[in-house]
Chains A and B, each alone.
Chain A
Amino acid sequence: MKDHAGEARFEATIDADDKVEPRDWMPDGYRKTLIRQIAQHAHSEVIGMQPEANWITRAPTLIRKAILIAKVQDEAGHGLYLYSAAETLGTSRNELVRLLHTGKQKYSSIFNYPTLTWADIGVIGWLVDGAAIVNQIALQRTSYGPYARAMVKICKEESFHARQGYSILLALSRGSQEQRAMLQDAVNRWWWPSLMMFGPHDGESTHTEQSMAWKIKRVTNDELRQMYVNQTVPQGHYLGVTFPDPELTFDEATNHWVIGEIDWEEFWAVIRGDGRMNRERVGHKVRVWDENEWVREAATAHAAKEEARLAASA
């Protein structure tokens, strides 16, 4: 049933740059888009734990090990905040997990690449978290209150992640020839995938217009990508790495670093599920979930027993 007063309030809220809160009336499309986007953001955090956890046992020093564990823990925490935000829209976390496990909801494609060396861990912190930060800063102004608040909380913690990564790379860049080669090799493999994190060109992004109208999205894909490139290229030069892009040039007129064309075939292949680690990432998640069903059931059973005992003694 159409709620005209509710719709008017919704539009006024969006126009005034105010926040939409959980019990407000909202268009069905707004709710659906948000559930999908927030859930996929949450899934990205959780799946993103895996490529990094891959190096916890082999971190080269105690402090690097501890910092990496703390980072992976933060990612779990970010997943927690985001699932909470998604649940305010009238769904349950278990439902969202089911959709992830059955491939009906996705996660950021960047996590479908393997972490082959220790340098990959540094590069992930620098490039992947760096890209996420650019996006998340923009999302702090998203129109849905719980999502915006989760973004503010996440942004506060995220800069530690980027610094952690860059500090690993600084050490490598000042190290032996092997270490410097390890660093360059990792950049060669992660640079283009990090650019793909920002999605298709604006012209080809079918949801951008509506998302911008609802102020879910505040900055377009290409704009975000350009911000990321501009901030990141000088950082790479400082490390003494070259970017695997022969067309990368600085445009004096626009003050922008201009990149070559992204390999959109690779982009869509990974989205479709044919990236290097797609099957492993989801497979791991599903296996761990299924193998531990008995634990979750036991906890629920115990809680019920406790309640019954309490009721009986009352």
Chain B
Amino acid sequence: MNKTAIDIELATYLLRLADDNMVIGQRLGEYLTRAPELEEDLAVGNLALDHIGVAQHLYEYAAEAEGKGRSADDLAMLRSEREYSNCLLVEQPNGDFANVMARQFFFDAYQLVLWGALAASHNPRLGGIASQAEKEARYHLRHSSGWVIKLGDGTAESHQRMQQGIDALWRFTAEPFEIDELEAELAMDCVATDASALRDDWETTVDRVLGEATLRRPEDPYQASGGRSGIHTEHLGHMLAEMQWMQRSYPGLEW
């Protein structure tokens, strides 16, 4: 099938959004049965299902857009670590509960502004996915920001661990708001959005929550990047090896 350059661009963009959600969904799947209480295992399950659900919708759309006969599962399970285009934040390992919530909080605040903007996309299918995802992101943010505050303003130990989580993940928070030529073009057509314009709102939310949590905004100016072009941290390879094991070991079968 003859696909236009715009279709390929769209597929590439959709894959970034899909990979973000796939990777954080996978990390949350790892965390099930490790949460601090039964009710939190339920909450983690809910988060994981929401992210994997969005990833599935986006992979399906990306597969259609690129028109190479690949399925959503092919995109998730058979692309290599150099092909995966998620941002570095989501591939960071779980660690303790404070770290899981720090990662979730930073990502939820980003997803909320991102899906909010994409809900107005001129691409109705993407807009539809975004509208639903925005509702979920809003709920997720209530949950994760709630925990950042509880742990930041809880006990001395929880405060220290929460600060550690914030500090450790801060250097992955600029990348989601970077845009390249591809995204800029799609944004000009009002299909994608200019993520760099969303950073201020994200910061407002983050500052408000960190303040309420009595946490310090990290000062290290260093920011890591490269996920969108497949230059990941060393964590992603291990994660994909586990995730893709069945499809790689038993190629071409039905499950």
Contact = CB atoms under 8 A, between A and B. Distances in A.
In the complex, are there CB atoms of A and B closer than 8 Å?
yes
Contacts of B35: 288, 292
A116 interface: no
A292 B97 contact: yes
B6 interface: no
A76 B49 contact: no
- Interface residues on chain B, size class: 35 or more
Interface string B45-62: 110110011011001000
Given A62-B52, A62-B76, A69-B52, A298 B45 contact: no
A183 to B, nearest CB: 12
B143 interface: no
Q: Is the interface of A mostly helix, strand, loop or mixed?
A: helix
A295 interface: yes
Nearest to A292: B36
Contact of B29 (A61, A65, A118, A172): A65
Contacts of B59: 62
Nearest to A297: B155
A76 B255 contact: no
Chain B interface helix/strand/loop/mixed: helix
A286 interface: no
Interface stretch (B134-142, B163-171, B186-194, B243-251): B243-251
B45 A69 contact: yes
Contacts of A305: 153
A64 interface: yes
Nearest to A47: B33
Interface in B61-99: 72-73, 76-77, 96-98
B29 A56 contact: yes
B230 interface: no
Contacts of B55: 62
A23 to B, nearest CB: 26
A294 B242 CA distance: 30
A168 B255 contact: yes
A301 B246 CA distance: 45
Interface in B15-45: 26, 29-30, 32-39, 41-42, 45
B151 A58 contact: no
Interface string B228-253: 00000000000000110111001001
Interface stretch (A157-165, A173-181, A226-234): A173-181
Interface of B: 26, 29-30, 32-39, 41-42, 45-46, 48-49, 52-53, 55-56, 59, 72-73, 76-77, 96-98, 149-151, 153-155, 157-158, 161, 242-243, 245-247, 250, 253-255
8 contacts: A53-B32, A57-B29, A58-B246, A61-B77, A62-B73, A66-B56, A72-B32, A301-B154
Given A62-B55, A72-B45, A291-B96, 12 more contacts: A50-B33, A60-B250, A61-B247, A66-B52, A69-B29, A72-B33, A73-B41, A288-B34, A295-B98, A295-B151, A298-B155, A301-B154
